[in-house]
Amino acid sequence: MSRFNIVLVIFVTMLEIAPRLALASPNDTEINEYLQSELQHITTLSERSDVAGTRLYISASPVINSAIIWQADGKQRYPATAQVLHVMDQPVIAAEKRLKALAELARPWRAEKADASGAELFYCYRTQQIICALLNVEQLAAVLSVSPDELNQQLTLADTEVPNRTWVVAALAILGISVSGVLFWRRQQPAKASQTLSRETGFRLGDLTIYPKQLRALRQDLAIDLTDRDVKLLRHFASHPCEVITKQELYDAAWGREFMPNSRALEQHIITLRKKLDPEKKLPPVIETVHGQGYRFSPPA
């Protein structure tokens, strides 16, 4: 098939799914994975009736200002209605009706600006229970290495109108031209990365080969720069295939004693490492999140 036909097929396909693309953010999976991991931890503490631990976790969080949890039957689990409200609970209690309406739209999540400034976001996540949180946009943007405006756009784009068809067609035309250029360029490029790295014996993690002495890795034709901590984490995953590895184990393997209790350094580091291993987000995940437990590497069958 000629490059022109390939581009034409891509163009027609994209035209059909354009409305869905217009409502989806390219990075919302990563953002939601981080947020849902945080909220799932809060939910787990609440299920244990650990009110003090739940409140301490929220107060220690740089991104979550307050949270409210409902059970599947609609009964409020946290903050307990019989208790005297803490000052951090007041924003979500005051917005309770608004959050319940937002939660009704969650499939499984939904977000909207708390006010016109966009400095805070309401975010609801639905599992067996429903948890809604008030997020600090500036802090969350810093954790995920994006701008606050980009973060607001990525999480609230589902509430905007689909761009008009003329804009979509123009954007897809540009996409088609770009894809054609990329296909031509990739056919002309030799696989230089593998020639450079193959001199050192590395270890494997799925389709990823890690070269510790060079602090680099090779995945298909992608050469990846790593840190010493990246290598320690990847080596630990390679040594425990298919096992669920707790956060404490990973901290011990890569940080030793150089971390603070309740630190989110691991979650942030995993997010950054995933970006390195798959910058275009089109390859199978190397590191899987096991909510409430930790992480796992599952070798391909």
- DSSP codes joined into one string, 141-198: HHHHTS-HHHHHHHHHGGGSPPPPHHHHHHHHHHHHHHHHHHHHHHHH---HHHHHHT
The answer to whether 104 and 135 have CB atoms below 8 angstroms apart is: no
State how far the Cα of 297 lies from the Cα of 237, in Å rounded to an integer: 6
Per CATH, is 28-159 categorized as 3.30.450? yes
Contacts of 287 (CB under 8 A, 6+ apart): 237, 270, 273, 274, 277, 295, 296, 297
Indicate left, alpha or beta for 293 from its phi (over 0: left) and psi (-120 to 50: alpha).
Answer: alpha
**Residue 137: how many CB atoms within 10 A of its CB?**
21
Does the global pTM surpass 0.85?
A: no
203 burial type by CB count under 10 A (0-12 exposed, 13-18 middle, 19+ buried) = middle
Give the pLDDT confidence score for residue 50 in this predicted structure: 84
**Residue 135: how many CB atoms within 10 A of its CB?**
24
Give the pLDDT confidence score for residue 121 in this predicted structure: 95
The answer to whether 7 and 178 have CB atoms below 8 angstroms apart is: no
Output the six-digit token pair for 250.
């990973």
Provide the Cα torsion 277, 236, 246, 62; round to 10°. Answer: -50
Helix boundaries (H) for 198-278: 228-239, 247-254, 265-277
192 burial type by CB count under 10 A (0-12 exposed, 13-18 middle, 19+ buried) = exposed
Q: What is the CATH number of domain 192-296?
A: 1.10.10.10
Indicate left, alpha or beta for 268 from its phi (over 0: left) and psi (-120 to 50: alpha).
Answer: alpha
CA dist 298 → 82, 102, 288, 289 (Å): 45, 35, 8, 11
* Domain regions of the chain by residue span: 3-22+161-188, 28-159, 192-296
Domains 28-159 and 192-296 share a fold: no
State how far the Cα of 157 lies from the Cα of 240, in Å rounded to an integer: 39
Nearest to 69 by CA among 262, 292, 51: 51
Output the six-digit token pair for 68.
């409210």
Query: In which residue ranges of the chain is pLDDT below 70?
Result: 1-28, 82-84, 157-200, 257-263, 300-301
Across the chain, what does the average pLDDT equal? 80
Number of residues assigned to the chain: 301
277-299 pLDDT, tens digit each: 988 888 888 899 998 889 998 77
